[in-house]
Structure 1
Amino acid sequence: MEAFVVKSPMLPQDHQTAVQRALALGRSGDPAVLPALIGMLPLPSNEVQRLSVSAIGKLAEFGADADMAVAALAPLAMKARHPQTQQYAIRALGKYGAAAAVHLADLRDVARNPAQRDYVRAAAATMADAIEQVSADAAAGVKHRCQRCDAPVSVDEFGRAQQTFQRTYCDRCFDEVFLERRNFEMQVELNKTIEARDGTVVQSRGERLIAEWLTAHGLSYRYDAKFRIIGEFQIRPDFYLPEVDVYIEYWGMDTPQYKMSMYKKQTLYQQEGKRLISVYPADLPRLDALLAAKLGFVGFTGRHQ
């Protein structure tokens, strides 16, 4: 997937203000902000439009006016200034379920259109299937389905899974996921064998060098913060710098499975408008210059302790 390059005719300050507003409205969980987000869609910035579309999708679970949201999203789901915005509009449309069923035929057309980007076509096909399933569930009186096995989920199961994982699981899958998470956490802790100068125990030499650079430059950080919520997902970032609201990930492995996970995580950061600095093993010899330059973009001028 190509990078979402920020090219906006808006003044930099206006653009950044609009970006932060779209993010804040999306995080609010308040369905009353839907008209404000819709009002941001015509702004001449691909990034603002993308983030606004994503935010509208997030409001679906909080009871936002489905008809209003679908009416705003549908045109962008069929055609947008940037293909990634179209992809996100399609995904957001899918979150409104049966209310978007009127656009099923249009989504199928997008999915079959060879002129569309592959990821746009894939999103359209996936969301069309999801909307069709939700519509069938609504007709049958089924309100929730397990995201893992697709079984119907009771109200009690839904509440338990949402409270613990912010996901929809049946009881059987809940227990499986809980065990998988516990085993994963245990393995991560066992892998922490390298101590940085400030006492933080990390998993690799690369992480140690990053931790020591941050400490040397007076930047506080949270290492391996457990399952931080970003968007709808739980992630475990290597480093989070609250002072500058930046995430640092050290991508230290080279296996196909690891790379797939890396790409998914990088895409999630991008979709949610998070500031991510990626560090790879080849970057370690020039780590000082890399971190100084990347953090300089977010206003960190550098201080050495």
Structure 2
Amino acid sequence: MDRAAEKALAARAVALGNAGQGRALAELTRLLETPSAEVRRLAASAIGKLAGIADADEAVGALSSRLRDPHPQVRQYAIKALKAYGHAAEATRHDLEDIAANPAEKEYNRRDASLALEVIAEALRIAEQNAVRACQKCGRAVAADEYARSQRAFQRTYCDVCFDQVFLERRNWETQVDLNKTIQAADGTVVQSDGERQIAEELAALGIAFRYDNRFRIVKGYAIRPDFYLPEFDLYIEYWGMEDNLDYRIGMLEKLKLYQQAGKRLISLHAHEKPRLRQALREKLAAHARVPSDPAGLTDSAAAP
């Protein structure tokens, strides 16, 4: 983009924000996709100025994609703009938490993300005080303490009776998942399959920090357990090792849909790739990060037969 065009678009973003008209959101959303980081930064700032005027869900959706912008100042202005939307920005809380906790992130972005989380939490508290709530399973009216308990545990609204039922079901499921973890990777991570072992060992060899099977990570209000999450890159990895099983495949497709709806960056690895799983992982990682072609001399010959 030439400098004259960039200046014109930057001025347009500022003008749209200052005009304070909700219909400007569509144009500002398009400006968020321009090649110029300066234009994207100013567009994010302008959307923040439309809080209380523009459609909150659409604005938050547009801004949330910029939390993964390659330019740190664009991320900063997206964070600040989301703060202006208060409780409407609830869906971005986990992304903001990751930014606040990411040691590779700029310090000012970590600070601003923490501040945004505080504002969103307080806005939610105020909104919830006036809300009428019903159990999502039985429809019974839910008291404030029941609501707080179920939201804290499941990010869902349950009465105490249904909470106990869901808690028991979830505990049994969690126990079964943990019992399935019988394979230990070289770094000590205990996983469920040899494919996951190879992934864990390759990530460790690359020096990439990861969280394995992190519980209750929320995507669009749903609790999921990603196989691997890479906080430095805000990137997820799923190893689909049982696609021949119909029930497994149905669950896989539902999970993929959640990732897509939430705009999460995902690497999918499949059982048919296992003979060259380490290489496949490196190739797919290369789209998101700079990685050695063969770290520490590891090749797929190290994989289990």
Q: How does 1:45-124 map to 2 (within 5 A)?
A: 48=62, 59-60=87-88
Question: Could you say what secondary structure the match of 2:266 adopts?
Answer: strand
Contact 2:34–2:40 (CA<8 Å) still a contact in 1? Answer: no
1:228 aligned partner: 217
Structure 1 match to 2:177: 188
1:304 partnered with 2:295: yes
Matched residue of 2:51: which SS? helix
Contact persistence 1:244–1:300 (CA under 8 A): no
192, 198, 221: which one pairs with 1:203?
192
Which residue does 2:278 correspond to in 1?
A: 288
CA displacement at 1:17 relative to structure 2: 4.9
Deviation at 1:41, TM superposition (A): 5.9
Match of 1:272 in 2: 262
Change (3 A) 1:162 1:33: farther
Deviation at 1:199, TM superposition (A): 1.5
| Structure-2 separation of matches of 1:288 and 1:15 | 38
Measured in 1, the distance between the counterparts of 2:134 and 2:204 equals: 46
Structure 1 match to 2:162? 173
TM-score by length of 2: 0.57
Deviations 1:67-96 (A, max 9, x none): xxxxxxxxxxxxxxxxxxxxxxxxxxxxxx
| Matched position secondary structure for 1:291 | helix
Counterpart CA distance in 1 for 2:220 and 2:210 is 21
Amino acid at match of 2:236: Y
Q: Quote the Cα distance in structure 2 between the aligned partners of 1:222 and 1:50.
A: 22
Does the CA contact (< 8 Å) of 2:238 and 2:267 recur in 1? yes
Query: Alignment partner for residue 51 of structure 2, among 8, 30, 34?
Result: 34
TM-score w.r.t. structure 1 length?
0.57
Name the CA distance, whole Å, in 1 between partners of 2:181 and 2:195.
13
CA contact (8 A) 1:244 1:298 kept: yes
Given that 1:198 and 1:212 are in contact with CA atoms closer than 8 Å, whether structure 2 keeps it comes out as yes
Structure 1, unpaired ranges of 5+: 1-7, 26-30, 63-140
Task: Supply the distance in 2 between the matched residues of 1:290 and 1:16 (Cα, whole angstroms).
Answer: 36
**Displacement of 1:256 after TM fit?**
2.4
Correspondence list, 1:232-247, <5 A: 232-247=221-236
Q: Give the letter aligned to residue 239 of structure 1.
A: F
Q: Indicate if the aligned counterparts of 1:162 and 1:168 stay in contact, CA closer than 8 A.
A: yes
Give the CA deviation at 1:163.
Answer: 2.1
RMSD: 3.9
Paired residues of 2:217 and 2:225 also in contact (CA < 8 A) = yes
Query: Are the counterparts in 2 of residues 40 and 49 from structure 1 also a CA contact under 8 Å?
Result: no
What pairs with 1:130-145 in structure 2 (closer than 5 Å)? 143-145=132-134
Which letter maps to 1:304? P
| Identity within the alignment, % | 46
**TM superposition shift of 1:158:** 1.5
1:11 is matched with 34
**Aligned to 1:157, what secondary structure does the other structure show?**
helix
Give the direction of change, closer, same or farther, for the CA distance of 1:266–1:228 in structure 2 (3 Å limit). Answer: same
SS at match of 2:295: coil
Q: Does 1:250 align with 2:250?
A: no
Q: What SS does the aligned partner of 2:260 have?
A: helix
- 1:32 is displaced (CA, Å) by 8.5
Question: What residue is the counterpart of 2:208 in the other structure?
Answer: 219
Structure 1 residues 37 and 14: alpha-carbon distance in aligned structure 2, compared to 1, 3 A threshold: farther
> Counterpart of 1:34 in 2: which secondary structure?
coil
Partners of 1:149 and 1:173 within 8 A in 2: yes
Distance 1:41 1:248 in 2: 27
Q: Which residue of 2 aligns with 1:260?
A: 250
Q: Which amino acid aligns with 2:51?
A: L
**Alignment CA distance shift 1:232-1:218 (3 Å):** same
Give 3-state SS (helix, strand or coil) of 1:277's partner: strand
